[in-house]
């Protein structure tokens, strides 16, 4: 229940910027599609040149691969500009809302809450949301597209090699689960220290 509420809040932050987020996700889809197609094209070119070699064919494949790689680079840059831009815009909106809300509070609120805590929430916490809605969305979409497009091609080439390549994943997931809790606790400790430093400076 709490998770669904948090997801609903994050969706509300993203809703005003759905166009930029959609463009960034579509750009990531095209990047991953080209990332799968270019090696396939190289393989097809090598197979063809091994039977009928000619410099014109080499030039043709080189030009096509360079153009596709350039398009892939442009789309990758565009995806980062759009998605990271959404994170920055959400950060700006949140800080504006926090500032407007602080102006409406009674003086007693500031007497019971330290300036360090307020500064930490307005900077560190909002910065974490910016990362979540920028880099995390980009990484999640990129991972989904990469596996959805790459795994069928890998399985078509060799089922045994694909299963061997995926055999390390359970160990990786175990390591991530072991270290994620420790990282979360350390991040909370860092935020508390930032609050103390801000209070000391104030």
pLDDT per residue over 150-196, tens digit each? Answer: 989 888 888 999 899 888 888 888 888 888 778 878 877 777 777 67
Quickly state the pLDDT bin for 202 (edges 50, 70, 90). Answer: low
Quote the CA–CA distance of 166 and 149 in Å, as a whole number.
15
Model confidence at 111: pLDDT above 80: no
pTM above 0.85, yes or no: no
Q: Which residues contact 65 (CB under 8 A, 6 or more apart)?
A: 38, 41, 42
Query: Residue 190's pLDDT is what?
Result: 75
Looking at residues 97-102, what average pLDDT do you find?
Answer: 85
CA 38 to chain CA mean position, Å: 23
Instruction: Name which residue leads in pLDDT, 86 or 192.
Output: 86
Query: Residue 132's pLDDT is what?
Result: 78
How many residues can be counted in the chain?
202
Q: Which residue's structure tokens are 């509070």? A: 105
Looking at residues 126-130, what average pLDDT do you find?
Answer: 80
Residue 176: Cβ-neighbour burial (10 angstroms; 0-12, 13-18, 19+): exposed
Domains of the chain: 2-201 (1.20.1560.10)
Q: Which residue's structure tokens are 């990282």? A: 183
**pLDDT tens digits along 50-82:** 888 788 888 888 899 999 999 999 999 999 999
pLDDT over 90 percentage in the chain: 19
CB 45 within 8 A of CB 57: yes
Mapped onto helix, strand or coil, the DSSP state of residue 92 is helix
Burial 73-89 (b: 16+ CB within 10 A, else e): eebbebbbebbbbbbeb
Quote the CA–CA distance of 105 and 113 in Å, as a whole number.
12
Average pLDDT value over all residues in the chain: 83
pLDDT over 70 percentage in the chain: 95
């Amino acid at each position: 229940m709490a998770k669904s509420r948090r997801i609903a809040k994050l969706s509300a932050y993203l809703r005003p910027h759905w166009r930029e987020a959609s463009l960034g996700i579509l750009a990531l889809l095209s990047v991953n599609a080209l990332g799968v197609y270019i090696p396939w094209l190289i393989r097809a070119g090598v197979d063809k040149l091994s039977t009928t070699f000619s410099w014109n064919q080499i030039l043709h494949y080189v030009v096509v691969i360079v153009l596709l790689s350039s398009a892939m680079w442009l789309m990758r840059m565009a995806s980062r500009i759009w998605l990271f831009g959404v994170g920055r815009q959400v950060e700006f909106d949140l800080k504006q809302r926090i500032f407007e809300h602080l102006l409406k509070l009674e003086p007693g609120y500031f007497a019971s809450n330290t300036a360090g805590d307020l500064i930490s929430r307005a900077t560190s916490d909002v910065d974490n949301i910016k990362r979540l809605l920028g880099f995390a969305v980009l990484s999640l979409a990129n991972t989904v597209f990469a596996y959805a497009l790459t795994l069928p091609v890998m399985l078509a080439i060799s089922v045994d090699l694909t299963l061997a390549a995926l055999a390390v994943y359970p160990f990786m997931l175990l390591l991530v689960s072991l270290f994620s809790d420790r990282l979360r606790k350390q991040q909370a400790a860092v935020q508390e220290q930032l609050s103390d430093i801000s209070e000391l400076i104030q």
